[in-house]
Each structure stands twice: as structure tokens, then as C-alpha cells.
Structure 1
Amino acid sequence: MSTNIHAQADHGLSHVMSPKLLIGVLATLVLLTLVTVVTATQPIFNFGAYPNLIIAMVIATTKATLVCLFFMHLLYDRKFNLVIFMGSLLFVLLFVSVAMMDTGQYQGAIERRVDAQIEAQAK
């Protein structure tokens, strides 16, 4: 018969970060959400919709990074996981950049074609 020689004492629940830090990150996320709403509703720059979209995307990426680093404990995890996260952010940035360039390249042609179809139907 085997005997259990290890103590069965509870080690307790430990948390890597202090509640003060987590509340600070939460407050930052709420503030960035408010900035995103203001950016989406009030044009900050008079350059068109793209600068406001870029600002909103940067804020959203910053918020996602904060959530991953602090609430998902990626900051204190193995560095390989951080490298994977940063690599995925770079690939998303590449994908969105190419999609926005494509949209900017052909948006005028699409609008002209739609306008021509509307004029043809009106006649």
C-alpha cells in the first residue's frame, strides 16, 4: 500500500498583479474607449475619414494589447507567447493596410459607376 507523504495544505490563491494596477489598466481602457467614441463621432482632422479611422484603429490596438498584457497575463508569461502576439499584430496591420490601400485605389471608380447607374435609371 502506498502512503501519501506530501502535505495537503492549501497553497492559497496568488495573483501576480496588484489590484491597484488592474484598476489603473481598467481606467485606462475606459478612457481610451471614450477617446474612440469621440474620434468616431467628431472629426478631429479635416483630411477625410481615413485619419479618424487610423486613429480609432491605433486606439483599438492599444486597448487589445493592454487586455492581453495585463488581464490575460501575457506580460508575465513566457516571452515566446509575447513574440507570437506581436507577430499576429504585425500580420493584422499588414492585412488592414493592404485592404485600405485597395479601398482607396478603387473607391472613386466605384462611386462614379454607381452615380452613372443612378443617372441612367433616372432618365
Structure 2
Amino acid sequence: MENNEKHHIVSYRSYFVILLLLLLFTFISIAITQIELGSYNVAGALLLATIKSGLVLYFFMHLKFDKPYLKLMVGFVMAVFIAVIVITFFDYYYR
């Protein structure tokens, strides 16, 4: 069998920039715990975690170079996850 996969070379600079962004978002998520935002603390932490996981998926797991249908599938799973989280928040908020 012949392997026709394309190999993508990503520069160290790109990985370093992503590392700095992940560290920045980590420090922001630590700092957000020191600020009293009321019920928005959890929402802020989840938003930052979503951004960080998106960066990891897109760059480190090479979703950037995958086929469009895989990107669509990951987007669908993320949309379902976000819907479940939103429904959970509404259930908790209106009890």
C-alpha cells in the first residue's frame, strides 16, 4: 500500500507563539479567580478553557490541516457540548 498522506511542516516560531498564548490564557484564568464577578466567574473560566482547547485542537492536533468534514464534525461536537453547558446553566439558574 502506498501512503499518500501529506506532511505539514510547522515552524518552531508558530508553536512558540501558541505556547505563549496558552500561557497567557492560563494566567488570565488564574487571575479571574481573584476578581469577584458573581455568577460570571464560572462562565469566564469556561470561555477561557474553550479558547485554550480550540488552540490545542487547531494547532497541536493538526485540525488546521485536516479535511473539511473532520473540521465540521469537531465543530458539531463542540456545538453540542456548548448547548449542554448552556442548558445546564439555565437549569441551575432558574431553580
Q: TM-score under structure 2 normalisation?
A: 0.87
Q: For residue 27 of structure 2, what is the aligned residue in structure 1? A: 34
Per-residue deviation, 1:41:
2.7
Trace 1:35-50 onto structure 2 (pairs within 5 A): 35-43=28-36, 45=37, 48=38, 50=39
Q: For residue 19 of structure 1, what is the aligned residue in structure 2? A: 12
Query: Which has more radius of gyration?
Result: 1
Q: Distance in 1 between matches of 2:83 and 2:8?
A: 36
In the alignment, structure 1 segments of 5+ residues that lack a partner are 1-13, 107-123
For this pair of structures, how many residues does the alignment match? 89
Of residues 42, 45, 48, the one that matches 1:56 is 45
Q: For residue 113 of structure 1, what is the aligned residue in structure 2? A: none
- Give 2:60's aligned amino acid: F
Identity of aligned residues (%): 24
Superposition misfits of 4+ residues, deviation over 3 angstroms: none
In the alignment, structure 2 segments of 5+ residues that lack a partner are 1-6
Q: CA RMSD in A?
A: 1.2
Q: TM-score under structure 1 normalisation?
A: 0.68
Q: Distance in 1 between matches of 2:69 and 2:9?
A: 19
